[in-house]
Amino acid sequence: MDYAEQIQALADLTRLRLLNLLTQAKEICVCELVDALALPQYAVSRHLHVLEQAGFIEDRKAGRWVYYRIASGLKPYRRTLLRAVTELRDESPVFQADEERASRRLSLRREGVCCVGLVSRIGGAFAPTGGKS
Amino acid sequence: MDYAEQIQALADLTRLRLLNLLTQAKEICVCELVDALALPQYAVSRHLHVLEQAGFIEDRKAGRWVYYRIASGLKPYRRTLLRAVTELRDESPVFQADEERASRRLSLRREGVCCVGLVSRIGGAFAPTGGKS
DNA sequence: GAAGAACATGCATGATAGCGCATGTGAGCT
DNA sequence: AGCTCACATGCGCTATCATGCATGTTCTTC
């Protein structure tokens, strides 16, 4: 995988949105990203795979969940590329809307676990009604 | 043109090579870039056009020559992206070979003009024999 | 104004990428 | 064991892109 291909991995709005969220949290579960971006699960999975192949992110399996995070030990130029993404953040409301949804979704975690007792994606959105009481 | 499209403009090895050269000189003529990259003229022209559309470079017409340079007044994230390109430079011999050819080609300028009295591309390379004597 | 140099562009082609749908995989729960 | 949930992936389709060839455009020079 040469340099152009690695940059190619960033040349997609969905992947930029994913990276934007991942740069702002230690790690995020796939289902949380699905909710935050309001995209089909298969789309999110695919884009995450591309980013992982390009070496920008890595994953951690935890039971039936998979948490993604920014890869550790990034080479300088990759780190710079990610920095460009974070600068992009101030320029488009798309990223801010993502962050808001992600923030609400992440706040529903219990003891760091993403989906405990959550009926995910009720009617296309996550219910802020307090989960299963 | 959204952000992903702008990054898309960088997702090509030829364009990375062009940018690498342009970040290291005030301005470079198309024919000089053709020699430095050893690529067909139409290819270089096309890629320059893509970079220009994406806002990374701008051109200056001078007679029958066209000089390209890094665009002035770049937004922060674009400047950061270009910085990533320059960091890429230390990682691949391709860029260094380009620079060497470009350096030799640029040294043939007379009073800042690119092709004065030059029979360009003799046998696929520029002749270091001193131009027209 | 005719010729040539420098650069740009229209067209056809092959390769690649993203999307939508469905299905596969693997872990946890009953 | 069987089921469900979270996630990944194979397939078909469409769109986009880089390339190669040829041609067009613009400027200079004779």
pLDDT 10s digits, B21-57: 999 999 999 999 999 999 999 999 999 999 999 999 9
Task: Please say if the pLDDT value at position B129 is more than 60.
Answer: no
CB contact under 8 A, A81 and B76: no
Evaluate whether A44 touches A74 at the Cβ level (below 8 Å).
Answer: no
Neighbours of B53 (CB within 10 A): 13
Q: Which residue has the higher pLDDT, A92 or B46?
A: B46
pTM for the predicted model, two decimal places: 0.85
HEC readout, A4-29: HHHHHCCCCHHHHHHHHHHCCCCCEE
Question: For residue A133, what are its two tokens?
Answer: 């009481």
Spatial separation of the C-alpha atoms in residues B43 and B52, rounded to whole Å = 14
Neighbours of A133 (CB within 10 A): 5
Q: Residue A7: its pLDDT value, please?
A: 97
* DSSP 8-state class, residue A57: E
Rounded CA–C1' distance between A46 and C24, in angstroms: 15
CA distances from B9 to A38, A66, A85, B50 (A): 27, 32, 15, 6
Mutation site, A19, A78, A80, A92, interface B, largest B CB count within 10 A: A80
Spatial separation of the C-alpha atoms in residues A127 and B127, rounded to whole Å = 71
- HSE (side-chain half, CA atoms, 13 Å) at B90: 8
Average pLDDT over residues A76-88: 94
Chain D nucleotides near the protein (CB, 7 A): 5-10, 17-23, 26-28
Q: Residue A122: its pLDDT value, please?
A: 34
Q: Residue A12: its pLDDT value, please?
A: 97
pLDDT 10s digits, B63-99: 899 999 999 999 999 999 999 999 998 888 999 999 9
Evaluate whether B47 touches B39 at the Cβ level (below 8 Å).
Answer: no
CB contact under 8 A, B80 and A84: yes
Give strand letter and number of the nucleotide nearest B115 (CA to C1').
C6
Q: Out of B8, B75, B84, whose CB is closest to A11?
A: B8
CA distances from B3 to A11, A52, A123 (A): 8, 20, 30
Which H or E run contains B117?
none
Task: Please say if the pLDDT value at position B119 is more than 90.
Answer: no
Give φ, ψ of A61 to 5 degrees: -85, 135
Give strand letter and number of the nucleotide nearest A15 (CA to C1').
C18
pLDDT 10s digits, A6-58: 999 999 999 999 999 999 999 999 999 999 999 999 999 999 999 999 999 99
Q: Out of A11, A16, A84, whose CB is closest to B11?
A: A11
pLDDT 10s digits, B96-113: 999 999 999 998 888 888
